[in-house]
Structure 1
């Protein structure tokens, strides 16, 4: 749930706060930023006052600024650790690249939509090698499928938008409440506050796949 103190720290308005997380590698940002921008075009029609926060890392910060320059809602790009923590605390919902960032969102109770776009050949290889039907760590650890994923050929703005809008508009929806429960379960199973999150996640995923 969004924190008022975090919102104040970032000097945010009253519109919905969307966390955009297109990845920490150049290839991810290049593939996902255009899709995320198209999603925001739809969000802006329904929520003209929506605000976008985009925490990133120095290695791709320049690329992020370039790729988001024409987004219909200008993002607040954040590089420092304190700002990132405030962004996760202030967010109402997130659209994120598939990866361990889902655990950060879960730790902060931020409902999410997961997206990832790969080269078609990579998609086919992953499908062939797949041991599970989900890439979301929250889904894997909680043994649910409540976090919606739009991967590969399904990573399209017109498919992602309705799910994101539902999370924004229906704060008591079954999907949103289901995610909150799954996120709490995920952090409980990973032992929140104990071992390093990455190591906990790796061990948990291996256990569930085994």
Structure 2
């Protein structure tokens, strides 16, 4: 029995045939995953996603809508990502200051990459308006005061959507990686909240579309939309219901699936 299905729905659909030959059962984190494997004779069960059970999402803090705009920038967790994604994010932030002179930003990050982020921010004219938080709990602390997020694609977009933060997603990769990605990756499924809800929770700007002016324009639109926060809160509620799968906890979902297959645990 294998827990966590390979993301064949995003790229490499052919991999599901290998999975079908090597497992008796598959525990899935997303509700649409069983349909990828059941036609191949794989016994599957949707068990919910552990992130959805985080109590931080049940009563998220919200910034004062009347306060000066504050955004959360999430340029990724790898140095290679930061090298490509953070510069246009910072340049876009400087452009946003033309429309919102009092705007500020926080970059929650990890200690191992904080030095790279600090150096990049220090080299900009907006350094004094950007704070960097590398302490434990940085992400949720930042989201609690942010009016919008500008996030690199990845699991973090699921976290920000579950929290109910409106915003924009983006990604920039080396040219060769981007070319390969365009051939192998289903771009409409890259941003998990979009794929799960079947609607655009976060607009996704990829590669040449993720220029500084484009990022600034997309964020300007979010910050100027009085309904963005309400829609994001509704999206968050829909995601939590979907990804909890009716179970009281992630562990309960696993136990229920295993009991259906193997019988109740012995006492």
TM range (shorter): 0.7 to 0.9
Q: Which has a greater percent of helix?
A: 1
State whether structure 2 residue 81 is matched by structure 1 residue 81: no
State whether structure 2 residue 88 is matched by structure 1 residue 35: yes
State whether structure 2 residue 189 is matched by structure 1 residue 130: no
Structure 2: 5+ residue stretches without partners: 1-59, 252-267
CA offsets 1:7-31 (integer angstroms, 9 cap, x no match): 8xxxxx9311100111111001111
State the superposition RMSD in angstroms. 2.5
2:207 to 152, 160, 175: 152
Q: What residue number does 1:16 align with?
A: 69
State whether structure 2 residue 62 is matched by structure 1 residue 3: yes
| Cα pair distance change 1:183/1:71, threshold 3 Å | farther
The total of aligned residue pairs comes to 188
| CA contact 1:3–1:89 (8 Å) conserved in 2 | yes
State whether structure 2 residue 122 is matched by structure 1 residue 63: no
CA offsets 1:124-154 (integer angstroms, 9 cap, x no match): 2111112352411110111212410111221
| CA contact 1:144–1:182 (8 Å) conserved in 2 | no
TM-score when scaled to structure 2?
Answer: 0.64
TM-score when scaled to structure 1?
Answer: 0.80
1:91 to 146, 154, 162: 146
Considering only CA atoms, is the larger Rg found in Structure 1 or Structure 2? Answer: 2
| Cα pair distance change 1:72/1:188, threshold 3 Å | farther
Structure 1: 5+ residue stretches without partners: 8-12, 197-210
